[in-house]
Amino acid sequence: MAAQFEISDGIIAEHNAREQAWVAEDFDYLRTKLRRRNVDIEDLVARAQAFRVAIPSWGVGTGGTRFARFPGRGEPRDIFEKLEDCGAIFKLVRSTPAISLHIPWDQPDNAAKLLEFARARGLHFDAINSNTFQDQPAQKLSYKFGSLTHPDPAVRRQAIAHNIECIEIGRALGSKAITVWIGDGGNFPGQQHFRSVLARYLESMREIYQALPNDWRLFIEHKFYEPAFYSTVINDWGISYHCARELGPQAFCLVDLGHHAPNVNIEMIVARLIQFGKLAGFHFNDSKYGDDDLDSGSIKPFQLFLIFNELVDAELNAVKDFEPAYMLDQSHNITDPVESLMMSAGELVRAYVQAHLVDRQALAQAQEKCDPLMALQILKQAFTTDVAPILAVARQRSGGAIDPISVYRASGYRQMKDKERPATTGMAVGIV
């Protein structure tokens, strides 16, 4: 394969040199401001540099809705081109070395070759995602009426076998977790016997759990509706938690932010799962109505901050077995996916650093003294602190770009990929 275009270290250095002046000025100003709060800005830079979030392989292609998909230019046509784009993102933002694959969308012909290709770009593989919510061309039995909970044991066996195959693929690629999200449910009252479908779910998941290597984790992803529009078997955190406990110590609950009814208090669900030792991690995104899979922090940035406030509280209190996996799970229908993923990764680091600005001693006092206004003010002080200089310096010190979007646009990466990747019709990138 001819050498593909890559963003050069030179253009990053050139742009960083141009931005250097304002970053240094704003950084020094913020250092002074934080020192007044007894906060060491260098500690926050180090935390920002250490922050990691995985990129969904299906996120680098253009997403769509049931109404339409408007393919972008230079779309990745296979897993190697998806990894190229993930490599470009990692090169500029430095917080995204892990890629979460989806099977069979990213079924590797040669796992060793894929691993080598990823490693050459500083990338590794995070949780692997199974897919029993679509029928594949060569598939014998349909998942139209469910998969792990289907009335027909043969369909359940097929779905179980697929998940076990995903674990095998993940092992070959160095993954340490499998995420199981199923769309199983009903569109009509009476369509399902609620207690039976749950019993079948656990029976199937126990077989998948048995196939887990000892150092692996199984992530259960709940979702309150869609594709089923009346009842969903794994519809909320409560049922996910029950199942994770039933399955055993390697099973955990994954929180996809878009999988909750509007106005549900997700940060409280996060605190509960942390307290119960069953928080798997996240599929970060944002939404206004349903599972909109919009860019993280684009609609409800305060909610994102409040979620990280719970995560940082647990981190600072060294909560036992607290090892959340952070992943993005977004659908980029009208933006350049590379730009959206870079911006979203930045919004997560921002919320994380701001959560480290919360004066937790003062907050605990306000809570003990039943002083809600002071408690809110303490959170708002952290949330309204502009930490952009810290994020920029952290990227720069990690070899990335102070301003990833401007470097990406100046590099002409998308235009070059448009030349290298002539569009092919019927290109399956992901969801639509």
- Does residue 382 touch ligand LRH according to CB under 6 A? no
Which of 90, 181, 284, 326 is close enough to bind ligand LRH by CB under 6 A? 181
- Taking the complex as a whole, the smallest distance from the CB of residue 254 to ligand LRH amounts, in Å, to 8
> 224 vs 302, which CB is nearer to ligand LRH?
224
**HSE of 356 in the Cβ direction (CA atoms, 13 Å)?**
22
Which of 126, 184, 221, 286 is close enough to bind ligand LRH by CB under 6 A? 221
- Taking the complex as a whole, the smallest distance from the CB of residue 286 to Mn ion amounts, in Å, to 13
- Taking the complex as a whole, the smallest distance from the CB of residue 258 to ligand LRH amounts, in Å, to 7
> 27 vs 225, which CB is nearer to ligand LRH?
225
- Taking the complex as a whole, the smallest distance from the CB of residue 56 to Mn ion amounts, in Å, to 8
Binding stretches for Mn ion (CB under 5 A):
256, 283, 329
The residue assigned the tokens 């609950």 is 253
Restricting to residues 270-289, name those near ligand LRH by CB under 6 A. 283
Peptide bond into 151 cis (omega under 30): no
- Taking the complex as a whole, the smallest distance from the CB of residue 322 to ligand LRH amounts, in Å, to 22
DSSP 277-307: T-EEEEEE-B-SSSS--BPTTSS-HHHHHHH
The tokens of 8 are what? 């050069």
Which of 256, 295, 310, 336 is close enough to bind ligand LRH by CB under 6 A? 256
The beta strands (E) that lie in 147-264 are given as 177-180, 185-186, 217-221, 231-232, 251-256
- Does residue 192 touch ligand LRH according to CB under 6 A? no
> 95 vs 130, which CB is nearer to ligand LRH?
130
Partner interacting with residue 310 (select from Mn ion, ligand LRH, none; CB below 5-8 Å by kind): none
Number of residues binding to ligand LRH, judged by CB under 6 A: 10
- Taking the complex as a whole, the smallest distance from the CB of residue 179 to ligand LRH amounts, in Å, to 6
- Does residue 81 touch ligand LRH according to CB under 6 A? no
In sequence order, the 6+-apart residues with CB closer than 8 A to the CB of 387 are 30, 44, 350, 353, 354, 357
The beta strands (E) that lie in 27-161 are given as 55-56, 98-100, 124-125, 128-129
Closest residue to Mn ion in the complex (CB): 283
Closest residue to ligand LRH in the complex (CB): 181
Which of 57, 100, 129, 309 is close enough to bind ligand LRH by CB under 6 A? 129
User: Crossing angle for the helix pair 237-247 and 266-275, nearest 10 degrees?
Assistant: 20
> 81 vs 256, which CB is nearer to ligand LRH?
256
Contact 200, 145 (CB under 8 A): no
- Taking the complex as a whole, the smallest distance from the CB of residue 307 to ligand LRH amounts, in Å, to 17
Partner interacting with residue 291 (select from ligand LRH, Mn ion, none; CB below 5-8 Å by kind): ligand LRH
CA torsion 54-55-56-60 (nearest 10°) is 180
Which of 84, 329, 347, 403 is close enough to bind ligand LRH by CB under 6 A? 329
For CA atoms 260, 262, 265, 267, the dihedral sign is positive
**Alpha-carbon span 298 to 236, nearest angstrom:** 24
Classify residue 384 by its DSSP letter.
T
> 75 vs 256, which CB is nearer to ligand LRH?
256
Q: What number of H helices and E strands is found in the chain? A: 15, 11
Q: Applying CB under 6 A, which residues contact ligand LRH?
A: 58, 129, 181, 221, 223, 256, 283, 291, 329, 431
